[in-house]
């Protein structure tokens, strides 16, 4: 019996969905510290709390690699990703058969997948389960670095085929949905938009904890960014923009960057080259970032692209104003599109640049930062215009929307 048939049977007998146990396989590329991984882990706990039986199938990784997997039923497809093309192909075939075997063993009611490789694998395996694919990024921008035209054509064809074959596609923002339709020709009726929300109570409670490894000066104002130091997050733009703010007279303000990544040393060197190392603080990734967020006067998202960044939901829950790139700040957070337009800038340079040359988009960002720090009216405008969205910013709402997909 299919999952929808099973539901019909239980509903005919007078039961609701929450009164019978359903099996879920949650599929993801890997368990790291990204937004999609956090959503999967939180959704796993939500399903357990509702009395269901979730399992996680991760394409790569091993036991003990992440503290997030403690107490969670995880099946690892491979210990690591292969780089060799032939080995990579063989690995993907092996992952297909491992997930297919798990599906036969568990006979799940639903397979819920996160990220592109997992989505494709989920579509490929034969199963009577309801399949749900989630898309967390603007894929046309994510794949701009693919140089080969033929490889890009294959990628686009695979994405078009997968998301048109599955009638249940979750886009984390309107921008992601529009990209799937316009760039890949995905059927609009297949896609529903479900934003990434947070547990506001948890964020607020943890934000009150004491910061014991850095002293926030009450006489200073803080511009903050939290995220991987990577190509996508583009913190070099923020450093350059902040240096221009200081040159233009911004006083009593420091920049705090929290994260880890391949570009940590490059960004630290750029801060020195720009002459702002004394006004810039680098802190490693934190298990509880909220107690640091609570000290921010302005949050800046310099990312070249995002789907729906969870960090914005966290910042919003603490009622801290934010600005950033057009492709990173979701329009639906704002009640008035004209206000959204005043809080964003267009990212012109997509390639990393650790030189001290300041581009046009970085100049535009510097203006936003200065307004975000110095203008009370500008800050209040952002908070007021995002208030209605913030009222819906509750992880329970997100997962209830997931549960309703049939």
CATH label of the domain that carries residue 15: 3.40.50.2000
Condensed to tens digits (0 to 9), the pLDDT of residues 103-118 reads 999 999 999 999 999 9
- pTM over cut 0.75: yes
Same domain assignment for residues 211 and 184: no
List alpha helices for 168-278, DSSP H: 174-184, 200-207, 235-247, 264-273
Same domain assignment for residues 33 and 78: yes
Same domain assignment for residues 138 and 152: yes
Contact 372, 321 (CB under 8 A): yes
Q: What pLDDT score does 79 carry?
A: 78
Contact 75, 57 (CB under 8 A): yes
The SS3 assignment for 327 reads coil
Q: What pLDDT score does 1 carry?
A: 41
How many domains are contained in the chain? 2
Same domain assignment for residues 184 and 264: no
Same domain assignment for residues 165 and 272: no
Same domain assignment for residues 118 and 229: no
Tell me the HSE value of 390 on the side-chain side, using a 13 A CA sphere.
17
Contact 223, 370 (CB under 8 A): no
Q: What pLDDT score does 5 carry?
A: 52
Condensed to tens digits (0 to 9), the pLDDT of residues 129-186 reads 999 999 999 999 988 888 889 989 999 999 999 999 999 999 999 999 999 999 999 9
Same domain assignment for residues 385 and 311: yes
Residue among 161, 89, 96 at smallest CA distance from 122: 96
Region 12-26: mean pLDDT is 70
Q: What pLDDT score does 7 carry?
A: 53
Same domain assignment for residues 187 and 211: no
Condensed to tens digits (0 to 9), the pLDDT of residues 337-396 reads 999 999 999 988 888 999 999 999 999 999 999 999 999 999 999 999 999 999 999 999
Q: How far apart are CA 131 and CA 1, in angstroms?
A: 15
Same domain assignment for residues 227 and 352: yes
Same domain assignment for residues 252 and 138: no
Same domain assignment for residues 222 and 314: yes
In percent, the amount of the chain with pLDDT more than 70 equals 95
Same domain assignment for residues 149 and 250: no
Domain extent for 236: 200-392
């Amino acid at each position: 019996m299919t999952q929808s048939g099973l539901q019909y049977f239980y509903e005919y007998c007078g039961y609701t969905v929450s009164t019978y146990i359903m099996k879920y396989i949650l599929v993801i590329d890997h368990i790291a510290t990204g937004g999609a991984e956090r959503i999967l882990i939180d959704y796993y706990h939500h399903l357990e709390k509702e009395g269901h039986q979730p399992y996680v199938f991760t394409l790569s990784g091993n036991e003990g690699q992440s503290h997030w997997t403690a107490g969670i039923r995880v099946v690892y497809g491979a210990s690591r990703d292969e780089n060799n093309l032939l080995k990579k192909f063989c690995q993907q075939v092996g992952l297909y058969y491992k997930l297919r075997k798990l599906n036969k063993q568990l006979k799940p009611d639903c397979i819920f997948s996160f990220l592109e490789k997992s989505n494709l694998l989920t579509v490929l395996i034969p199963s009577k389960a309801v399949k749900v694919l989630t898309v967390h990024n603007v894929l046309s921008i994510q794949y701009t670095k693919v140089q080969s035209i033929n490889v890009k054509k294959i990628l686009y064809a695979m994405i078009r085929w997968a998301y048109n074959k599955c009638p249940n596609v979750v886009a984390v923002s309107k921008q992601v949905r529009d990209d799937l339709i316009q760039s890949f020709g995905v059927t609009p009726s297949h896609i529903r938009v479900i934003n990434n929300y947070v547990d506001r109570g948890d964020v607020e409670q943890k934000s009150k904890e004491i910061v014991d490894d850095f002293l926030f000066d009450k006489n200073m104002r803080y511009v903050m960014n939290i995220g991987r130091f990577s190509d996508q997050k583009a913190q070099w733009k923020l450093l350059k923009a902040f240096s221009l703010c200081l040159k233009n007279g911004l006083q009593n303000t420091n920049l705090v960057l929290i994260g880890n990544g391949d570009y940590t040393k490059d960004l630290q060197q750029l801060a020195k080259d720009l002459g702002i190392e004394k006004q810039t603080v680098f802190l490693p990734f934190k298990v509880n970032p909220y107690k640091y967020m609570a000290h921010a006067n302005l949050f800046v998202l310099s990312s070249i692209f995002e789907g729906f960044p969870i960090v914005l939901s966290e910042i919003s829950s603490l009622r801290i104003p934010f600005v950033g790139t057009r492709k990173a700040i979701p329009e639906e957070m704002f009640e008035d599109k004209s206000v959204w337009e005043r809080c964003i800038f267009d990212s012109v340079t997509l390639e990393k640049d650790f030189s001290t040359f300041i581009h046009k988009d970085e100049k535009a960002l510097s203006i936003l930062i200065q307004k975000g720090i110095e203008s009370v009216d500008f800050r209040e405008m952002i908070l007021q215009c995002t208030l209605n969205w913030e009222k819906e910013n509750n992880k329970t709402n997100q997962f209830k929307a997931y549960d309703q997909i049939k």
